[in-house]
Structure 1
Amino acid sequence: MKGLLIKSPWIDLILNARKTWEIRGSNTKKRGKIALIKSGSGMVFGEVNIKDSKELSLEEYQVSREFHGIDSEYSSELPYKKTYAWVLEEPKLYEEPIPYKHPMGAVIWVDLEKQKNT
């Protein structure tokens, strides 16, 4: 399974079903279940399904606060040249976070399957 690195407080909002869009500067073709890793923690905190990825216009971004959680005073412009909403569903918060070894250079994704073989 792939693990997506997400900073606090965004990961907490996702895992508590209060944020269903992860805003990124790139598209993703990944669909299905992924793990969620809290940046800097060395721990996997839960999982979620990626349902879709779509490019957003400024207007879509501005009227969609309930999905991405970014306050309107910070939405006068798009955060990236091309801004994408990774549409998330079915969050699952683990009772106990699971430690993992963070590979050098990993910024967005971690291949957790490789961890089992080392």
Structure 2
Amino acid sequence: MSSLHGAPTRGLVVDEPWISMILSGAKTWEMRSRPTSLRGRIALIRKRSGLVVGTAELVDCLAPLDADAMAATADRHGIDPGWQPDALAAGWVIPWVLRDARALAAPVPYRHPLGAVGWVVLDQSATEAIAGRVPLPLAAVGTARDRHADASASATSVAEIVRPAGPPARPLPAIGAGESGVVRLTGGNIRNGHVYLRAVRYLLPDDVIGGPNAEAAAPSLLTVTFEPGPTITTDVAGDKMILRQRGPVREFFRAAGAREGEDVVVQRTGPYSLRIALLRVAR
């Protein structure tokens, strides 16, 4: 599926939060309802954006998962336990195995053919543009940023790479050049007072992730600053990958006027500290 200098000629349309999880390295299995025989480097298209935001190698297609297999492989497909029954019922049980996911330095617009749903054959101009924007693995981007910290003001942050398409965002209060990622809010997040952190798992130390209840709390705690909102210390409930304290998250949602479909930036400000702020685009 590659032609011009290895640039992909086909793109896969992927919705949030899954595409950000793929680009962050938190998800290596893209779950689909049908098998595929295609292999090679593909473009990653953020659904309803009109933009190619990254590429990945499609290396395999596995047998359908049952409930037990889906539960045992959540670290690969990224579907939270609470969503897995819905995924099984909808038939999203076939893993398409991806590797070497890379975010483009800048998104590439493409022409979406009428009727295309999952796969898109890219027009030549899009393929040429992708070839001209050599993508880097996110780990390499982070390493380069750390190595050149003095020049970080001009570096491209992870949040800028994986931010959903839209008008230029207003600057976030006190959000600087630290390693960060973007999480899209669901209706369930707003109603239940939590943010799914699986897409930004790479920001979290292993020892702040505990079990499903307070009796199985993690040995270490995170300091989390909400802007606007309180600063708290808490661990992460590992079954759902959410902050264990939900009250402060609700307070943040109310203060920020957060709505379903909006995005939050999660930034690591220290080894055991995060900042969380709403990513609002100019209207």
- Using the size of structure 1 for normalisation, the TM-score is 0.90
Aligned: 1:59 with 2:76? no
Q: Which of the two has higher C-alpha Rg?
A: 2
Structure 2: give runs of 5+ residues left out of the alignment: 1-8, 126-283
Aligned: 1:87 with 2:97? yes
Which 4+ runs in 1 deviate beyond 3 A? 79-82
* Residue identity matched to 2:66: S
SS of 2:107's partner is strand
Q: CA deviation at 1:83?
A: 1.9
Q: CA deviation at 1:82?
A: 7.0
Structure 1: give runs of 5+ residues left out of the alignment: none
Distance 1:82-1:41 versus aligned 2 partners, 3 A rule: closer
Question: Who is 2:114 aligned against?
Answer: 104
Q: 2:21 aligns with which of 10, 13, 20?
A: 13
Distance 1:82-1:73 versus aligned 2 partners, 3 A rule: closer
- Using the size of structure 2 for normalisation, the TM-score is 0.39
SS of 1:51's partner is strand
Larger RCO (CA within 8 A; separation ≥ 6): 1
* Residue identity matched to 1:30: L
Q: CA deviation at 1:79?
A: 4.0
Distance 1:51-1:109 versus aligned 2 partners, 3 A rule: same
Aligned: 1:116 with 2:116? no
SS of 2:12's partner is strand
SS of 2:60's partner is strand
Question: Who is 1:34 aligned against?
Answer: 42
CA distance in 2, matches of 1:99, 1:28: 25
Aligned residues: 115
Deviations 1:84-117 (Å, cap 9, x if unpaired)? 00011000100100000111101000001xx128
Q: CA deviation at 1:81?
A: 4.0
Structure with a larger share of its residues in helix: 2
SS of 2:48's partner is coil
Deviations 1:34-63 (Å, cap 9, x if unpaired)? 000001000000100011111222211111
Is the CA contact (8 Å cut-off) linking 1:36 and 1:45 kept in structure 2? yes
Is the CA contact (8 Å cut-off) linking 1:44 and 1:100 kept in structure 2? yes
